[in-house]
Structure 1
Amino acid sequence: MATFESTVKTITSNEEQVYGTLSDLRNLEQSKHMVPGNTIQDIEFYEDKCHFTVNPIGKIDLSIIDKQPYKLIKLGADNAPIDFHVNIHLNKADDNQTNLHVNAHADIPPMVKMMFGGRMQQFVDQFAEALAGINYK
């Protein structure tokens, strides 16, 4: 299993606000403009899942499969050509700041990682950046 890690993003909101916002995927709609349209298209958000198309992979559905209040939101791929999941980790930095980082775990062979690993890393980095850009107030 290959792992891809984002850098840590600091959000100026407490972990309760951040977790509460991210627990409803419809709140990600406000970060939609940060997604590059040439790689990810047709994004739709629902309370506990989202759908999008990744060129050249195809349509992917992500659903919330696990939550640990104020610490973790785990998204699993329902119909992707590879088995993968994405973790959103939250850690309290201080009373009004939360550190966020994203990692993705993909069950891909080493040869495929060489071909698509850069795109997976780019996805993780852009996803973390988009999450950091949400208004959590």
Structure 2
Amino acid sequence: MGVNKYVSDVKTIGHNQQVVFNYLSNFENLAGYMNSGLIERITEKVPQIKITEFQSDRDSCKFNITGLGVAEIKIIDREPFKSIKIESSGGLPLSFTFWIQLLPVDEYNTKMRLTLHAEMSMMIKMMVGNKLEEGLNNLADTLTKLPYQ
């Protein structure tokens, strides 16, 4: 298994850096968004992936991906207002570490970049490797549209 690095484009979020950090560093905020129709939209776009049994608390979330198993991700480090480090666990055939990096532009705008280090077998890489960068950029776009408060 090899480690592969994927980096999103830099995106701008129209909110204060502290507000963005506080929202993204609490997975309970993600639960409301996931359960408000995001899971269904993911399934519509990628019918091979069906997410069920989504649950979360402040530091982790767990869900089942039909055909792959239970996935769990945990926030393992928070550097206030600058970065959030997330790690996978569970029964998936790949493991990853994921960073959300935040940088203030001004009082009302924040730049964000996502970095993913994924450890996967050659077979998994051949199946999904070229889609991971596109998926990372789609995730970055989605994060710019969250209802930050």
Decide whether the 8 Å contact of 1:30 with 1:134 is kept in 2. Answer: no
Ranges of 4+ aligned residues in structure 1 off by more than 6 Å: none
SS at 1:78 equivalent: strand
| SS in structure 1 of the partner of residue 94 of structure 2 | coil
**What's the offset of the Cα at 1:122?**
4.1
Aligned length: 137
Task: Could you tell me which runs of 5 or more consecutive residues in structure 2 were left unpaired when the two chains were aligned.
Answer: none
Question: Contact 2:93–2:120 (CA<8 Å) still a contact in 1?
Answer: no
Distance 2:96 2:135 in 1: 13
Partner of residue 137, structure 2: 125
Q: Single out whichever of 115-124 and 45-54 deviates more from structure 2.
A: 115-124
Larger Rg: 2
Greater alpha carbon shift after TM alignment, 7-16 vs 47-56: 47-56
Secondary structure at the counterpart of residue 107 of structure 1: strand
Residue equivalent to 2:74 = 63
Residue type of the alignment partner of 2:8:
S
Matched, 1:85 2:85: no
CA distance, structure 2, for counterparts of residue 108 and residue 47 of structure 1: 27
Query: In the alignment, which of 51, 65, 68 is matched to residue 41 of structure 1?
Result: 51
Match of 2:85 in 1: 74
Gaps of 5+ in 1: none
User: Is the partner of 1:83 in helix, strand or coil?
Assistant: strand
What corresponds to 1:21 in structure 2? Answer: 23
CA-based RMSD: 2.0
Answer whether contact 2:15 2:148 (CA < 8 A) is retained: yes
Describe the shift of the 1:111–1:127 C-alpha distance in structure 2 as closer, same or farther (beyond 3 A): same
Alpha-carbon shift at residue 110 of structure 1 (Å)? 4.5
TM-superposed CA distance for 1:2, in Å, is 0.3
